[in-house]
Chains A and B, each alone.
Chain A
Amino acid sequence: MEFTLKTFIFYGFALLTVASALVVVTVRNIVHAAFSLMVTLFGVAGLYVFLQADFLAATQVIVYVGGILVLILFGVMMTSGRLEMRLHIERGQLLLGGVISAALLMLLLTIIANTPKWKNLSDDGEQLEPTTRRIGELILNGQFLLPFEVVSVLLLVALIGAALISRKEVRD
């Protein structure tokens, strides 16, 4: 594989993702971990760009970085505003996490080993069109319309349920 500007940037993103992910699991301060997780998710969005999945890259940032992680930070701050907020890690958690991570790693390695030929998207000069339009057509032209609607109704139910549970009961 020749070393082009592209590979250089790719490894930059890969390094960013892995290094910040390591920080997430090693650092004790929970807000620092959350901040590092933001960098990880951002790096993953960058990797999506290299897969020419433009829509996925943007959605990754909007949903995970701009939505979920902010809510996590928000929750941490609401519960404890102090700087000394530390994570306590028990040995059992460490073991469980290690086992799950190892299993996931094995799974991914098996898939990598069993894939006969990787398609290189950029080197054969193929210009892929933006994916956003294709995704929209697939959803709205009926092929995935029902699953899409079912998922949206499910999310709506979850939303209303969460609002109902978290609401204080008003007594007269």
Chain B
Amino acid sequence: MERAYYFAFVEGDFVVLPLHVLIISSIVKILIIAHLLIIGVMAMIWSERRVSGWMQDRLGPNRVGFQGILQPIADGIKFLFKEDLIPNHVDKPLYVLAPAMLLVPAMITIAVVPFGSSLTIFGHEIPLQIADISIGILYILAITSLGVYGVVLGAWASNNKYSLLGGLRSSAQMISYELTLGLAIIGVLMLTVVEPGESALSLRKIAESQGKALWNWNFLIHFPAFLAFTTAMFAETNRLPFDLAEAEQELVAGYHTEYSSMKFALFFMAEYMNMIVGSAVTVTLFLGGWHFFGLENVGGPVWSGLISFGIIFVKTAIFLFVFIWVRWTLPRFRYDQLMNFGWKFLLPVALTSIVVTGILWVTTQSRLLVGIGNVVAAFIVVSIVAGLLVMNKTPEPATPELSGLDAIE
């Protein structure tokens, strides 16, 4: 009974596939998605530089290839040929391991994210997802929490005070915002429609339950939770306005100060990969997955699959543009502001969304009322917190000390 083992954690459509089809299709899907991620990273690096240039009224890289589109490849080749410098004072095993520790979690998270509905090839209906596991959301949260290790170990192994401070800041930030990230999803899970025996934690089920109309898209029903989730994700990916870990003015380059050549490139790639995967997760959880006003059902079984992939692709791309947009619009937070914001605003908002969604859904069974109630409750909670903060405000010291170890407290 090999089958029982292979499908122990797999639900839904997978079970009807014969084993050889499952293996071949999985390998093909893994290859395609892994390469798409790498190409996506290059595209992101190029578009980040071009968009920032556009926003700051300058050109950006536009010389290599059409509009500079081959610039990331040139950069990659440059990274490969740079000397791979390992300073004498580092802790070598962990120093070498750290970039991979950051890149691997970023990459394997995509395994449970659906990238389309399903594709019928050679008479087999193949779901466009590498693995539809029953604990998809928990898997994402677990793997995301592994990302901290790359930063912490890299920072420690570098044996450099700037690296260490960057690593400490980053890990404290990631641990704090992880809570919001997890709590903001719970409201979504409550309203996910599943048959008995299925799991609401599967990302495919979450995407499918948003299929009926625009009003089923989770960002409308759980708007405050959506904002909290997105903000927490910016913090998790260490992007501006939350990139305290690599604040150039204070910490040289933060946790990767001592890294050079391809190891530095791995850190860099991991950051962008985290953004891409995070965007794909957000699209699945909140922005309707592969649904777009019935467009995903157009055409035959082959075309609808490809169209659904295209819809997810475009939605993810738009969300990634928001990442870039925010980075070149907002200035960096101060460290105490970052912590205050995470613990005193985002966390209460996420908690409120759980309570309100639960109460309103049980009493009214109306998505509209849940949506309105969530917004009103979040507004009230934020007002209360802001009011309390203003009332209890302690006078700030004349010169706030934010150097050295004080900055991370």
Instruction: Show 22 A/B contacts (Cβ-Cβ < 8 Å), sorted by A.
Output: A4-B2, A31-B156, A32-B93, A35-B153, A54-B9, A55-B135, A58-B141, A61-B142, A61-B146, A66-B148, A70-B145, A70-B148, A71-B175, A73-B156, A78-B168, A122-B5, A125-B3, A126-B4, A127-B7, A127-B8, A130-B201, A132-B134
Which residues 36-73 of A have a CB within 8 angstroms of B? 38, 49, 52, 54-55, 57-59, 61-62, 65-67, 70-71, 73
**Which residues of B from 142 to 162 have beta carbons under 8 Å from A?**
142-146, 148-149, 152-153, 155-156, 159, 161
Contact of A58 among B1, B138, B146 (CB under 8 A): B138
B133 contacts the other chain (CB 8 A): yes
- Residues B138 and A66 in contact, CB atoms below 8 Å apart: no
A58, A66, A129, A170: the one within 8 Å of B178 (CB): A66
- Chain B proximity mask over A8-40: 1 for CB below 8 Å, otherwise 0: 000000000000000000000101100100100
Contacts of B138 in A (CB 8 A): 55, 58-59, 62, 132
List B contacts of A81 (CB < 8 A): 156, 161, 164
Given contacts A35-B153, A58-B138, contact A125 B145 (CB under 8 A): no
Interfacial chain A residues near B394, Cβ < 8 Å: 170
User: Which residues from chain B contact A83 at a C-beta distance below 8 Å?
Assistant: 89, 91, 159
Known contacts A32-B93, A122-B8, A127-B8, A132 near B178 by CB under 8 Å: no
A77 adjacent to chain B (CB < 8 Å): yes
Interfacial residues, chain B to chain A (CB-CB below 8 A): 1-5, 7-9, 11, 89, 91, 93-94, 133-135, 138-139, 141-146, 148-149, 152-153, 155-156, 159, 161, 164, 167-168, 171-172, 175, 178, 197, 199-201, 394
Q: Tell whether, in the assembled complex, residue B142 and residue A65 are in contact, meaning their CB atoms are under 8 Å apart.
A: yes
Q: Are A38's CB and B149's CB within 8 A?
A: yes
Interface of chain A, helix or strand or loop or mixed?
helix
B353 to nearest A CB, angstroms? 19
Q: Per a CB cutoff under 8 Å, which of B1, B2, B11, B167 touches A77?
A: B167
Q: Is the CB of A54 within 8 A of B168?
A: no
Residue of A nearest to B136 (CB): A58
- Provide the bound-state CA to CA distance between A124 and B1, in Å: 7
Q: Count chain A residues whose beta carbon lies closer than 8 angstroms to a beta carbon of B.
A: 41
**Across the two chains, which residue of chain A brings its CB closest to B90?**
A83
- Asked whether A160 is an interface residue with its Cβ less than 8 Å from the other chain, the reply is no
Which residue of chain A has the shortest Cβ distance to B139 in the bound complex?
A58
Bound CA span A31–B93, Å? 11
Contact between B152 and A125 (Cβ–Cβ < 8 Å)? Answer: no
Alpha-carbon separation in the docked complex, A35 to B153 (Å): 8
Contact A74 B168 (CB under 8 A): yes
A67 CA / B3 CA spacing, docked (Å): 35
Instruction: Identify B135's interface contact among A32, A73, A130, CB under 8 A.
Output: A130
CB distance from B401 to the nearest CB of A (A): 14
A54 close to B145 (CB less than 8 A): no
A62 to B181, CA, bound (A): 13
Residue from the list A31, A66, A123, A130 in contact with B1, Cβ < 8 A: A123
Contacts of A4 in B (CB 8 A): 2, 5
B142 to chain A: which residues have CB within 8 Å?
A: 58, 61-62, 65-66
